[in-house]
Structure 1
């Protein structure tokens, strides 16, 4: 217990100092953990396995993180923050109509998946309803971030219906769930760097989805 407390103090001091070498090593460990989470699932992956994959012993891991949960949190939090902020910025833009904003959001999600692989893969793979059942502060923050993004999409669908851009016989909530479902299934078959680009996939998604949802 005393040894772990000493490591915790050293970890906090190193993080506060913000040294490049420490940060780079921590980022490397987060990526190693993310790859294992992708391959085995978050629940099935152990700290011992993360340490072994990184060529370290388990005790040394605690110099960089407090627990396995911190690896997962750090892997997806920054990406989710950035995506939500950009979605809310797009919603406020007056130069685009709701359909154009939604098309840009689809491109944003696919590009983020591509550029932040495997972190966005983890976010999709570890279903958020399972995360919502956890009571930790970070889990609830992830749920709030997800709800903020969903609110943007639903609001844009609602505004598009009001403006006559979209058909009114499909509710905004159902449309949003259908769009998210199409995107969320992509982790089953899309791997960055192989086949179609993220932009090409986004364009195909937009054509498939919005051609069917537009007001005739």
Structure 2
């Protein structure tokens, strides 16, 4: 029996779907933004890729800046979870860093710093702060395990948060090499080898 309750304008029709509309939009938007950048992606393009109307996107999100913020924050949250799961494994830090590098380099996406710089003028300070806080959670996770390795005498004492940022910066450079066709597994080891020379106890 059909419901007589009027549907709010723009609200997606309820259908039997593998994933709720809002999650589908977030997942698809994050993929497109990370692959193509901010300017190259339109809400109409995202709607078409999701198989919904543009009005359906506006039902959940105020506009492109909010959708970008939510989708990129979701990407960073997944990255933090993945990084944490790798770093708690009972392996030497060097091997765990290689696994973190492989996971990051294996993802098909553009240079995050370039994408964010492109979007910056369209985002509010609150939206920028939200993205930055999600990114910092990844650095905090890395720093936590660097401290443990320092306490165990596995690596020399450094500023753990600065070291985490430096490691992330080197990985960003690695993403550019991936775009040139360098295999992710080889590049991950090369990056960690280069980084490790600065951490080794002398």
| Bigger helix share | 1
Pair 1:208–1:32, CA change in 2 (3 A): closer
Q: Judging changes above 3 Å, is the alpha-carbon distance between structure 1 residues 150 and 158 closer, same or farther for their aligned structure 2 residues?
A: same
Q: Is the 8 A contact 1:76 1:122 kept in 2?
A: no
Distance in 2 between residues matched to 1:173 and 1:150, nearest whole Å = 7
- Kindly report which structure 2 residues correspond to 1:1-216, keeping only aligned pairs within 5 A, or say none: 9-14=8-13, 17=15, 19=17, 26=25, 31-32=31-32, 35-37=35-37, 42=38, 44=39, 47=42, 51=44, 60-65=53-58, 66=61, 67-73=63-69, 75-93=71-89, 95-111=90-106, 114=107, 117-118=108-109, 121=110, 123-127=112-116, 134-136=125-127, 139-168=128-157, 170-191=158-179, 195-216=181-202
Cα distance in 2 between the residues matched to 1:86 and 1:34: 17
Unaligned runs of 5+ in 2: 1-5
Give the gaps of 5 or more residues in structure 1.
Answer: 1-5
How many residue pairs get matched?
A: 186
Matched residue SS, 1:175: helix
Do the aligned partners of 1:107 and 1:199 also contact (CA within 8 Å) in 2?
A: yes
- TM-score for the superposition, normalised by structure 2: 0.68
1:47-77 deviations in Å (ceiling 9; x for gaps): 4xx5479889xxx523334311244245434
